[in-house]
Chain A
Amino acid sequence: DAGVTQSPTHLIKTRGQQVTLRCSPKSGHDTVSWYQQALGQGPQFIFQYYEEEERQRGNFPDRFSGHQFPNYSSELNVNALLLGDSALYLCASSLAIRGPTYNEQFFGPGTRLTVL
Chain B
Amino acid sequence: GEDVEQSLFLSVREGDSSVINCTYTDSSSTYLYWYKQEPGAGLQLLTYIFSNMDMKQDQRLTVLLNKKDKHLSLRIADTQTGDSAIYFCADEGGGADGLTFGKGTHLIIQP
Contacts and interface: CB of A to CB of B under 8 A. Distances in A.
Interface of A: 4, 31, 33, 35, 40-45, 47-48, 55-56, 58-59, 90, 92, 100, 102-110
Interface stretch (B10-18, B60-68, B75-83, B91-99): B91-99
A43 B43 contact: yes
A45 B31 contact: no
A108 B105 CA distance: 21
B4 interface: yes
B103 A55 contact: no
29 contacts: A31-B97, A35-B99, A35-B101, A40-B103, A41-B104, A42-B102, A42-B103, A43-B99, A45-B98, A45-B99, A45-B100, A47-B98, A48-B97, A48-B98, A55-B97, A56-B97, A100-B30, A100-B94, A102-B31, A102-B48, A102-B50, A103-B92, A103-B97, A104-B45, A105-B45, A107-B35, A107-B42, A107-B45, A109-B41
A59 B2 CA distance: 12
Nearest to A42: B101
Contact of B42 (A33, A44, A102, A110): A110
A33 B97 CA distance: 9
B88 interface: yes
Given A90-B42, A107-B35, 9 more contacts: A33-B97, A33-B99, A42-B4, A42-B101, A42-B104, A43-B88, A92-B43, A102-B50, A107-B43
